[in-house]
Structure 1
Amino acid sequence: MPQQQGGYNMHPSFGGFINDPTAQLGFQMGKSAVDAGQQYMEQNLGRYVSVSALKHYFNVTNSYVLSKLRIILFPWRVERWSRQLKNPDAASGASSLYLPPRDDTNSPDMYIPTMALVTYILLSTLLAGLRGAFHPELLGYTATLAISVTLLEILIIRTGTFLLAISNSSQLMDLVAYSGYKFVHVIVSLLLTHLSSWLGFGGATVSWIIFLYCFNANAFFLLRSLRYVLLPDQGGQGMGVGGNPAAGYTVARSQKNRRTQFLFVYSYVVQFGFMLWLSRV
């Protein structure tokens, strides 16, 4: 549960937090780990992921990022959720057939999830420092937690699509992108909760109100974004993510009901547990 009771009191040792040798050592270790990870990815990424396909997910602009953030944080104001194809008559599910994120705000991207993941790790460490609870291992622990949540979530939805016989399920990169958008909501929840405490009107009630709004925004965003994967016969609108964009094929009513139930459980029940877990910093 998001935790802030009453006003926020800065820890007495925070004045020397930045100059603390232990804190500096922790940040140096974190930077070294990031540099080593970047070098490893550059050397081995091509073995597992198509670089050209990956570039598609990072093909963003400043205007796209701002528009996407508005959609993520205020999804109830969006009317159109389906993705646009370069060739509307195409029948292949290749990502190259879709317009890149810069040209379609409904296209999943990897830029926002990546930046949100890094920001969440740094923000969690900063908040721990403000409370005087920083230790060098915290960066590694927080990064492991965030990545573990993402991998577990991808495993859940991949298992669900397999059990529901969705052979044209979303591409792996699409799932990684959608699983990463929750970090935007978690970051906003943490910032607003701590800000309200610093201003003197924080508390358990305010904390829960902020958290529940961010949670519902994320759940509704996923519910509408992924419905074109699990419910592909939505009035001929086609696939909104990854899979086969050919529209109009139907599934049995019982299968459709199971897919609807899974989509609801994934968007609300699973996301509630993960976001609550990530918010306990």
Structure 2
Amino acid sequence: MPPSQPQSGYGYQQQPQGAPAAGGGGGGYNMHPNFGGFMNDPTAQMGFQVGKSAVMAGQEYMEQNFGRLVSVSALKHYFNVSNSYVVNKLYIVLFPWWHRPWSRQQRLSNNGQDGYFLPPREDTNSPDMYIPMMALVTYILLKTLLAGLRGAFDPELLATTFFTSVFVLLLEIGIIKLGTLLLNISSTSQIFDLVAYSGYKFVGVIISLLLSELLGHLGVGGRWASWVIFLYCFSANAFFLLRSLRYVLLPDQNGQGVGGGAAGYTVARSQRNRRTQFLFVYSYVVQFGFMLWLSKV
């Protein structure tokens, strides 16, 4: 009879002990005890332990090598920011003309002799990595969004924009390091300072792209308005770098020459002229080319 088959199947002795006594979904529920048996198998447990050990070993290896290449404690210094710092820093980057002073603040260590720079949270003139990182991510997303609004979206545009931005940063840092090497500038600034100052340009590029696109949709100004916005953002970034990097690339070396203060002043004066020219070229000429390149849609 037809009812006898479900009864005999339900009473089959090879069913796992954990099988439910209720009917209805019994046929589909039989897979779960088998999966649980696999999870409890000693061989499977050994495999999971080996995999877990391999993951932990790989994580430990990455942490050790990352610590060799990058000082984690130094990197945390550049992310020690506050909301007020971010707002004030953005204002300085976009409107640097009225900011005073530009020198970074220092604090003496416990021995009362060695000093260290204050973190961005406590010093507005301190460079940070938070704003450049967020500006870089925003620039990549904005560039892709604008391309999509024009009907030219391509998934590869995200990767292309990212690698272009990183290439610009690396090339710019290379130019600075080459200039400091040729001009014999012995600066105590870390590489993170140069990365931070190089990344602030993305703030001006974002503002330029946004306002130009907005005015274009409103039909106001035309191409000349976009150029006015770009030139202002470029000028603000160039002036910001000129005043900020003065304390990084142009350390005061008066009195370090051979033969006393007069000789030291003569050497420092001749070198300072070349260093000032390099800083001007970097802040205005180099930045103009990079910002114009990044602002192309």
Q: Normalised by the shorter chain, which TM-score bucket?
A: 0.7 to 0.9
Ranges in structure 1 where 5+ consecutive residues have no aligned partner: 1-38, 236-248
Paired with 2:106 and 2:283, the residues of 1 have a C-alpha distance of: 25
Deviations 1:3-38 (A, max 9, x none): xxxxxxxxxxxxxxxxxxxxxxxxxxxxxxxxxxxx
SS in 1 for 2:90: helix
Q: Which of residues 172, 176, 199 in structure 2 aligns to 1:157?
A: 176
Structure with greater Cα Rg? 2
**1:169 Cα deviation (Å)?**
4.6
The answer as to whether partners of 1:161 and 1:169 remain within 8 angstroms in 2 is no
Counterpart of 1:75 in structure 2 is 96
Offset of 1:86 from its aligned partner?
Answer: 1.4
Mapped partners of 1:75, 1:90: distance in 2: 33
Kindly provide the amino acid, as one letter, of the partner of residue 70 in structure 1: Y
**Number of residues paired by the alignment?**
226
Call closer, same or farther: CA 1:221–1:257 in 2, change over 3 Å: same
Alpha-carbon deviation of 1:154?
0.2
Question: Which residue is equivalent to 1:114?
Answer: 133
**Counterpart position of 1:87:** 108
Q: Displacement, 1:220?
A: 0.1
Q: Which residue of 2 aligns with 1:54?
A: 75
Is the CA contact 2:104–2:123 (under 8 Å) kept in the aligned structure 1? Answer: yes
Aligned partners of 1:112, 1:234: CA distance in 2, in Å?
32
Does 2:218 correspond to 1:199? yes
SS at match of 1:86: strand
The two structures have a TM-score, normalised by structure 2, of 0.72
Q: Percent identity?
A: 72
Match of 1:209 among 228, 231, 240: 228
> Once the 2 structures are TM-superposed, how far is the Cα of residue 228 of structure 1 from its aligned partner?
1.4
Task: Work out whether 1:143 is the aligned partner of 2:159.
Answer: no
Whole-angstrom distance in 2 between the partners of 1:233 and 1:167: 11
Unaligned runs of 5+ in 2: 1-58, 255-263
- TM-fit CA distance, 1:140: 0.3
Aligned residue for 1:105, secondary structure, equals coil
CA shift, 1:252, in A, is: 2.4
Query: 1:91 offset after TM fit, Å?
Result: 4.8
Name the counterpart of 1:267: 283
Going from structure 1 to structure 2, the CA distance change for 1:48 and 1:233 (only over 3 Å counts) comes to same
Moved over 4 A (4+): 88-92
The yes-or-no answer on 1:98 pairing with 2:135 is no
RMSD of aligned residue pairs (Cα, Å): 2.2
Counterpart-to-counterpart distance in 2, 1:202 and 1:145: 30
Distance in 2 between residues matched to 1:218 and 1:52, nearest whole Å: 29
Q: Report 1 or 2 for greater relative contact order, CA contacts < 8 Å, sequence distance ≥ 6.
A: 1
Matched residues in 2 for 1:131 and 1:45: separation?
Answer: 41
Aligned to 2:66: 45
In 2, distance between residues paired with 1:168 and 1:197?
44
Q: Structure 2 counterpart of 1:193, which letter?
A: S
Cross-structure match for 2:293: 277
TM-score normalised by L of structure 1:
0.76
User: How far has the Cα of 1:280 moved from its partner?
Assistant: 0.3
| Alpha-carbon distance in structure 2 between the residues aligned to 1:144 and 1:260 | 31
Q: What residue in structure 2 maps to residue 124 of structure 1?
A: 143
Q: 1:46 corresponds to which letter in structure 2?
A: G
Could you tell me how far apart the structure 2 residues matched to 1:108 and 1:179 are? 10
Structure 2 CA distance for aligned equivalents of residues 81 and 68 of structure 1: 12
Q: Choose from 160, 180, 184 the match for 2:199.
A: 180
Most deviating of 60-69 and 222-231: 222-231
- Equivalent residue letter for 2:69: Y
CA distance in 2, matches of 1:229, 1:184: 21
In structure 1, the residue matched to 2:16 is: none
Residue by residue over 1:113-149, the C-alpha shift from the partner in whole angstroms, topping out at 9 and shown as x without a partner, is 0000000000000000000000111000000000000
- Listed one character per residue, the Cα deviations across residues 61-120 of structure 1 (whole Å, up to 9, x for unaligned) are 00000000000000001010000001297456xxxx111000000000000000000000
